[in-house]
Amino acid sequence: MAEPKPVAQQPARKKVTIPTLMEKMKKGEPIVQLAVYDYETAIVADRVGIDILCVSDTGGMVLFGHEDTTSVSFEEVMFMAQAVKRGSKYGLRMVDMPYMSFHLSPMQAVENAAKYVSQGGAEVMKCEGNRHHAKNIEGAGFSRKARPRSAPRSWSTTPGRWSTPAASRSCAR
């Protein structure tokens, strides 16, 4: 009886980072992002190779029944971010800072970004709205994806750009 052929091993998946994404962009490779709000979905997203796991304030509408994103709290997004952190090992975790979590002052913006990094496992902040607050988050050393000059429910018409402390400052204009 013939021996079964060995199954080809897939190369081990590596952690997605901003340099990884920049390299994919240079090569013209697709970058796949998925809105993820819970532990189980984060596990599946990692298994199928999703590049960016976006913990979005929209999850507050999906999971908690909010009518719109403006009523989703910092704590609710943190709860989702922590669940995604526990379930993901490879995808880049991007947390959408909810309405009024970075709008009141530069200090509030930096403090909340730091909490999402240290407690929620965020690797990139997504902030919509006031470009000056997004600049404060970046100035404190946090990576961000910003949609300047936009507000909740209107951002889909404004193109976003990737930005890191060492990369383009195009979002801050």
How many other C-beta atoms are found inside a 10 Å radius of the C-beta of residue 73?
Answer: 16
- Say what the pLDDT of residue 136 is: 67
- Say what the pLDDT of residue 108 is: 87
Question: How many Cα atoms are found within 13 Å in the side-chain-facing hemisphere of 2?
Answer: 3
Q: What is the mean pLDDT of each run of 10 residues along the chain (173 residues)?
A: 63 89 95 97 96 94 92 96 98 92 84 93 82 67 52 34 33 28
* Protein fold of 18-167: TIM Barrel (3.20.20)
Distance between CA atoms of residues 41 and 24, nearest Å: 24
Q: Where along the chain do its domains lie?
A: 18-167
- Say what the pLDDT of residue 165 is: 35
